[in-house]
Amino acid sequence: MTRFDGELSPPFEIVEPSAWRAPIIFNSPHSGSAYPVDFLDASRIDLPTLRRSEDSFMDELIADLSGHGFAVVRVHFPRSYVDVNREPYELDPRMFIGRLPSFANTRSMRVAGGLGTIPRVVGDGQEIYRERLLVDDALSRIETLYKPYHRALRRLINRVHQMFGTVVVVDCHSMPSIGVSRDEPRRPDVVIGDRYGTSCASLLPDVVEDTMSGLGYSTGRNKPYAGGFITEHYGNPASGLHTIQLELNRAIYMDERRREKGPRFAQVAADFAALADKLASVPLGELGPFQAAAE
């Protein structure tokens, strides 16, 4: 487990299996619920409203998978404080007092929507802060939380890749059951994101779709979520690096209004374990380019 001093200790954790069953890492970057006091003091909205951005309980749904032979990575700080599923410096200059670094990406679509590395709004569009933040505050969050998380994730991915010759990162998220737009069609139970076929071998989303459909879940691909920075950044199938994003409809495992686990929670967790078993059964050689592990 990686630890840091201070209020967010540890800010994230990596739990590796005692014996690896397959080169699969389950990652939950948006389920954190440890809110710093100074963040709450600076917010113009209350804690229940801030928590609408959380992928609530996703970390608990995958927690037991380390006992099944897979690695589990869980972020404990909230995405509304720092979002690790963004580029390191997707920042909105209107949010800050002071000059941003010249290399900051201030024009991305995510920044325009208020959902950069330091978000301006929560998921339903409500402004988070009463006043503008100091640039140094934003940069400090990136240096002390964002960068250590990605360094640790990268080290884990590289080590597993060296051990097995390939690695699969399953990036686990949840989505509101109803979209912001009334015109959006009903969301399926699971949305599989592979950046339109670029982040992983095509076999993997097929296995996920077949498995979840067989368990009774409705599925979709890449709409409305194709995968964020993690899926895009760590997915390089030509090098044996595969990432796939799973968005689980919150209505199937929790009460969205009360933010409580629902009656199907245990079954959904068991179904995730069944999915992990199916992914583990995929012959490594079928994932494409393969680097033989060292003797």
Q: How confident is the model at residue 127 (pLDDT cuts 50, 70, 90)?
A: very high
Mean pLDDT on 131-158 = 98
**pTM (predicted TM-score):** 0.94
Question: Rounded to whole angstroms, how far apart are CA atoms 115 and 34?
Answer: 19
Spell out the domains of the chain, with CATH numbers in brackets: 12-285 (3.40.630.40)
Q: What is the pLDDT of residue 1?
A: 31
Where does the pLDDT of residue 290 fall: very low under 50, low under 70, confident under 90, or very high at 90 and above? low
Token pair for 231? 């899926």
Instruction: State pLDDT tens for residues 44-55.
Output: 999 999 999 999
Distance, in Å, from the CA atom of 114 to the CA atom of 69, rounded to the nearest integer, reads 38
Count of residues in the chain: 295
What would the pLDDT profile of 188-211 be if each residue is shown by its tens digit? 999 999 999 999 999 999 999 999
Residue 137 has pLDDT above 90, yes or no: yes
91, 116 contact by CB (below 8 A): yes
At 181 the pLDDT is: 67
List the structure tokens of 170: 């399953």
For all residues of the chain together, what is the average pLDDT? 93
Predicted local distance difference test score (pLDDT) of residue 2: 32
42's enclosing H/E stretch is helix 37-42
172: left (phi over 0), alpha (psi -120 to 50) or beta: beta
Give which of 27, 30, 93 is closest to 63, Cα–Cα: 27
Distance in angstroms (rounded) separating the CA atoms of residues 121 and 112: 11
Q: Which two tokens stand for residue 29?
A: 């970057």
Answer whether residue 288 shows pLDDT above 90: no
Question: pLDDT confidence of 18, banded at 50, 70, 90?
Answer: very high
Q: CA quadruple 23, 153, 165, 221: dihedral positive or negative?
A: positive
Rounded CA separation 289/191 (Å): 26
pLDDT score, position 5: 38
Q: What percent of the chain has pLDDT over 70?
A: 94
**Phi/psi zone of residue 197: left (φ > 0), alpha (ψ -120 to 50 degrees), beta?**
left
**pLDDT (mean) for 104-120:** 97
Q: How far apart are CA 243 and CA 24, in angstroms?
A: 10
pLDDT at 8: 66
